Amino acid sequence: MIESSAEKKRLFYMIVLVLTLITMIIGATLAYLKLVGSQREEGTVLYTGTLKINYIDGRYIEDPELIPMKNVDYNTYSNVYRNNFSITSTGTLDQTINISMEIENNEFSENALKYLLYSEKGNQLASGSIPKTGEIQMVNNTFLGHGETATYTLIIWWASTDSNQNGEMGSTIIGKINADAKQVKY
């Protein structure tokens, strides 16, 4: 028999503790069963976005055949640096891509080198002069669907100034093409 009020309180708290524990177990079990019951085979899908860049061809810019030229277009193959590359979205998400050229070192004089960027259909996307160092943004927010490939042609040439440019001979340029993507949110 329970004689003191302290023992009565302890018994009351033990009963409340046991009932709380039983309620928690029942609640967790019901939540788990409801979650498992609501799942379907195709109910949880993981989407990923990845980008792959493939340098199809290209050679060093310090090619001795690079000579000053005035008019260059998509059909120019001689005496220019020509690099074809493709970007493939291998993930399951659509993306917008940005393409830039990062120049680490350019020994040519200011504005001596020019560039053109074309799409695979021969449409001009970007043009301009190559700086001594820095980044050139060539394509911004161009859509690339999942599983699609976009091919580009970058042409760099030595611009003719109609003056003696022999001082530029032997100059080099070091740079790289960067491509980054952002997933399209629907």
Residue 34's contacts (CB-CB under 8 Å, 6 or more residues apart) are none
pLDDT of residue 153: 93
Q: What percent of the chain has pLDDT over 70?
A: 84
Tell me the pTM.
0.68
Please give the class, per CATH, of domain 51-183: mainly beta
* Domain ranges for the chain: 1-45, 51-183
Query: 151 phi and psi, to 5 degrees?
Result: -110, 140
CA distances from 137 to 21, 80, 134, 141, 179 (A): 62, 21, 10, 11, 10
Residues 98-138: pLDDT tens digits? 999 999 999 998 889 999 999 999 999 999 999 999 999 99
What's the rounded Cα separation, in Å, for the pair 88 and 52? 5
